Amino acid sequence: MKRRDFIKTSGAAAAGVASAAIAAPAISQDRIQWRLITTWPKNLPGLGTTAQYFADQVTACSDGRLEIKLFASGEVVPAFESIDAVSAGTVEMGHGAPYYWKGKAIASQLVSNFPFGLTAQEYNAWIQFGGGAQLCDEFYQDALGCRFLICGNTGVQHPGYSRKEVNSLEDFKGLKMRMPGIGGASMAAIGATVINLPGSEVAQAFASGTVDWVEWNSPYGEATMGFWRHGKYYYTPGFHEAATSLDLFINPAAWDTLPNDLKAIVTQCANSANHFALSEPVAYSGAILQKLINEEGVIVKVIPDDALIAIGNAAGEIIADQVANDPWSAKIFASMSKFRSEQIPYTDTTEGEFIRARKLPYSFPS
Reported confidence tier of residue 1, pLDDT bands at 50, 70, 90: very low
Output the pLDDT for position 17.
40
Distance from chain centroid for Cα 322: 20
Residue 188 clears pLDDT 90, i.e. is over it = yes
Q: How far apart are CA 110 and CA 331, in angstroms?
A: 10
Residue 261 clears pLDDT 70, i.e. is over it = yes
The stretch 75-91 carries a mean pLDDT of: 96
Reported confidence tier of residue 4, pLDDT bands at 50, 70, 90: very low
pTM comes to: 0.89
- Burial class for 171, CB neighbours closer than 10 Å (0-12, 13-18, 19+): middle
Which one has a higher pLDDT value, 224 or 51? Answer: 51
Element containing residue 20 per DSSP (H, E): helix 16-21
Instruction: Fold for 13-155+243-282, please state it.
Output: D-Maltodextrin-Binding Protein; domain 2 (3.40.190)
Domain boundaries, the chain: 13-155+243-282
Q: 82 Cβ partners below 8 Å, 6+ apart?
A: 37, 38, 39, 73, 94, 96, 100, 249
Which one has a higher pLDDT value, 311 or 28? Answer: 311
The stretch 198-227 carries a mean pLDDT of: 90
The stretch 316-345 carries a mean pLDDT of: 98
Phi-psi region of 230 (alpha: psi -120 to 50; beta: other; left: phi over 0): alpha
Q: How far apart are CA 365 and CA 285, in angstroms?
A: 22
Closest alpha carbon to 86 in 145, 136, 163:
145
What digits encode the pLDDT tens for the residues 26-36? 555 689 999 99
Closest alpha carbon to 82 in 201, 258, 245, 248:
248
Q: 86 Cβ partners below 8 Å, 6+ apart?
A: 11, 37, 92, 93, 94, 146, 249, 250, 251
Output the pLDDT for position 201.
84
Output the pLDDT for position 24.
55
Q: Compute the half-sphere exposure of residue 251: CA atoms within 13 Å on the CB side of its CA.
A: 23
Output the pLDDT for position 223.
86
